[in-house]
Amino acid sequence: MRNPLRTLRGRLAITYACLSVVGVATSALYTASTVRSGLHDRVVLDLADEARLLAHDISQPLANADTATVGDYVVRAETLTHAHLLIVNRFGQVVALTRGWTPTYDSDGSLSMALTGQTTVDSEGSAGLWGGSDTVEVNVPVTLADGTIVGALQANYSVDEVQAILSRLNVTSLLVALGAVLVAAIAGLLLATSVARPAGQVAAAALTLASRRGFGPQASNAFPPPLPEPHGSTDEIRALVTAFNSLGDQLQIHEQARREFASDVSHELHSLASAMQTAAEALERGAAEANPALGQRLVQGLVGHTRRLVRLADDLLEVARWEGGRLRIDVEATDLAELVRGTLDEWTPEARRRGIRLQVRLPGAPLPLNGDPIRLTQAIGNLIENALKYAGPSGWVRVEVASASGMYELAVTDSGPGIPQDVLPRVFERYFRVEGRASGGPGGMGLGLAIARAIVLAHGGELSAESPRGSGARFVLRLPVPHRPTTPARSFATAATRE
C-alpha cells in the first residue's frame, strides 16, 4: 500500500484533519470546563440559599423540640430541592433525616462549625470533564430571630444533572470533531487535487518531452500540445504551467531552427561542392588551354566558392565560440570613424555590383573607442552586408554615425521592404531568416546578425532592430564612449550570451 505521506494529497488531507482535531478538541475542553465550573457554582449558590430558607423555617419548631413539624419541613424540602437533609439540635443530636440516606455524621466537623454559627460549603468526589460523581455539601446554623443558635442543618446534593449535561456536551463535541475531520480531509483533498493535478500534468508532459526522440529511426517531430490553463488553481501553479508552455515553445523553435540549419548547411555545402567540382572537372579536361578566358572565369569561380566556404566555416566557428564563451576580444585604442570608412571601402565594390548606392554620414572629428578593431569591423560589415542583401535593385543603404549621451550610435538603414513586426524580435536569433526574403550569397545562413550582436555585447554595447511601417529595416549599434583611450592592448574572452 502506498504511503499517503508521500503524496501531496495525503499530506494536505492529514494535516488539515490533524489541525481540525486539535482545534475542536481544544474548543471542547475549554467549553466543557467553563460550563462545568459555571453550573457547579450555580448549584452551590442555589443550595446554600435553599438551606438558609429552610433553616429559617424550622428554627422555631426546632427550638420548641417539635420534631414532627421539623420532619414535615424536611420531607417537603426534599421534594422541592432533591437534596439530602440532616437536622441536629444545639446538642448535636439528630432531629430529622432524609429517609434512606445514611450520612457520615460530622466526619469533617462541618456540623460542629455550623453549631458555632459558621456556614460551610464543601465539594467532594471524582467528577471530571468526561463524567464521574460529585457532591455538594452545605452546613448552615439554625438561629432564632434574636440570634440564638438552636441547631444546624446539613444539605447534601449530588450534581448528577451537571454531569449528564457535560456528558451530552462531550458527545456533541466528539461528533463535531468527527465532522470537522471529515470536512477538513475533503477540503485538503480538493485543495491538493487543484495543485497536484496540474503539477502531474506538467510532470507527464515533461517526461513526454524528455522521451521524445529527435534522431534515429524512431525520430518524432511531434511536440506535446500546450497544457491548458488550470482553473481554480493558485497563481503559482498557473505560473508553472505558463512557464512550461513557454519552455516547450522555445524548444520547438530551437528544434525547428536546428532542422532548418542542418538542411541549409547541407544545401549550401552541396551547392558549393557541386560548383567547385564542375569547375575543377572542366579545368581537368583542359578547358583553360582550349579557352583561356573560360579558364580564368573557372578559376575565379573556384576562388569565390572557396571564399564562401571559408566564410561559412568562419561563421560557424564564431557561433561555436560565442556559445561556448570563448569569443576572444583584443581591446585597444581605435577610431570608430576609421573602422566605418575601412568597412565601407571593403563593401563598396559589392554595392556597385548590385547597383545599390552607399550613403555615408560621418563626423569630421575622430571617434576614439576602446575595442577590438577586427571584431568591430566584422560586426559593422555584417550589418552592411545584411542591408545590401535586402535593399533591392537600384536601392540604397545609409550608414550614419553620431555621438550622444555618452554613446556612439551607428545606424545602418536600407531601402528594402522592411521586416514584419511579428518576427522583428527574432532577427538576432541564430540561424533565423525571414521567410519569403532572398538571402543568397555569403552569410546566408542566418548567422551574420547573431554574430554582430555577440560582438557588440562583448564590447558593452547593444544592437537593436527597427522597421517602421512603409520603410526599410534600420539596425542601430550603440557603443560606450570611453573616458580615456586605452593605450596597451588587452585580451579577454566573453561569456556566452544565449537567447
Q: In this structure, what are the phi and psi dihedrals at residue 205, rounded to the nearest 5 degrees? A: -65, -35
Has residue 380 got a pLDDT over 90? Answer: yes
User: Residue 356 is placed in which grid cell?
Assistant: 545599390
Q: What is the pLDDT of residue 357?
A: 93
Q: What is the pLDDT of residue 1?
A: 52
Has residue 409 got a pLDDT over 90? Answer: yes
CA neighbours closer than 13 Å in the CB half-sphere of residue 248: 21
Q: What is the pTM of this model?
A: 0.49
User: Residue 122 is placed in which grid cell?
Assistant: 464543601
Q: What is the pLDDT of residue 40?
A: 75
Give residue-wise pLDDT tens across range 93-144: 888 888 877 777 667 788 888 888 898 888 765 445 444 457 888 899 999 9
Has residue 479 got a pLDDT over 90? Answer: yes
Give residue-wise pLDDT tens across range 262-298: 776 776 677 778 878 888 888 888 877 888 888 888 8
Q: What is the pLDDT of residue 161?
A: 66
| Residue 443 pLDDT class (50, 70, 90 cuts) | very low
Q: What is the pLDDT of residue 74?
A: 86
Interval 441-467 mean pLDDT: 82
Query: Which amino acid is it at 254?
Result: H
Interval 158-173 mean pLDDT: 73
Has residue 335 got a pLDDT over 90? Answer: yes
Has residue 36 got a pLDDT over 90? Answer: no
Q: Does residue 456 or residue 130 have the better pLDDT?
A: 456
Q: Does residue 495 or residue 459 have the better pLDDT?
A: 459
CB 321 within 8 A of CB 455: no
Interval 186-190 mean pLDDT: 75
Q: What is the pLDDT of residue 217?
A: 47
User: Residue 251 is placed in which grid cell?
Assistant: 524548444
Has residue 480 got a pLDDT over 80? Answer: yes
| Residue 494 pLDDT class (50, 70, 90 cuts) | very low
Q: Identify which of 470, 474, 472 has the alpha carbon closest to the alpha carbon of residue 399.
A: 474
Q: Residue 451 CB: number of other CB atoms within 10 A?
A: 23
Average pLDDT, the chain: 79
| Residue 432 pLDDT class (50, 70, 90 cuts) | confident
Has residue 422 got a pLDDT over 50? Answer: yes
SS (H, E, C) the chain: CCCHHHCHHHHHHHHHHHHHHHHHHHHHHHHHHHHHHHHHHHHHHHHHHHHHHHHHHHHHHHHCCCHHHHHHHHHHHHHHHCCEEEEEECCCCEEEECCCCCCCCCCCCHHHHHHCCCCEEEEEECCECCECCEEEEEEEEEECCCCCEEEEEEEEEECHHHHHHHHHHHHHHHHHHHHHHHHHHHHHHHHHHHHHHHHHHHHHHHHHHHHCCCCCCCCCCCCCCCCCCCCCCCHHHHHHHHHHHHHHHHHHHHHHHHHHHHHHHHHHHHHHHHHHHHHHHHHHCCHHHHCHHHHHHHHHHHHHHHHHHHHHHHHHHHHHHHHCCCCEEEEEEEEHHHHHHHHHHHHHHHHHHHCCEEEEECCCCCCEEEECHHHHHHHHHHHHHHHHHHCCCCCEEEEEEEEECCEEEEEEEECCCCCCCCCHHHCCCCCCCCCCCCCCCCCCCCCHHHHHHHHHHHCCCEEEEECCCCCCCEEEEEEECCCCCCCCCEEEECCCCCC
Radius of gyration of the chain (CA): 51
Q: Residue 127 CB: number of other CB atoms within 10 A?
A: 20
Interval 320-341 mean pLDDT: 83
Q: Does residue 281 or residue 493 have the better pLDDT?
A: 281
| Residue 396 pLDDT class (50, 70, 90 cuts) | very high
Cell 550582436: give the residue: 453
Q: How far apart are CA 401 and CA 403, in angstroms?
A: 7
Q: What is the pLDDT of residue 129?
A: 47
Give residue-wise pLDDT tens across range 214-267: 544 444 556 777 777 766 666 777 787 788 788 878 777 777 767 766 776 776
| Residue 442 pLDDT class (50, 70, 90 cuts) | very low
Q: Does residue 90 or residue 11 have the better pLDDT?
A: 90
Q: What is the pLDDT of residue 496?
A: 37
Q: What is the pLDDT of residue 190?
A: 75
Q: How far apart are CA 467 and CA 474, in angstroms?
A: 6
Q: How far is the CA of 361 from the CAs of 25, 99, 117, 397, in angstroms?
A: 85, 127, 122, 11
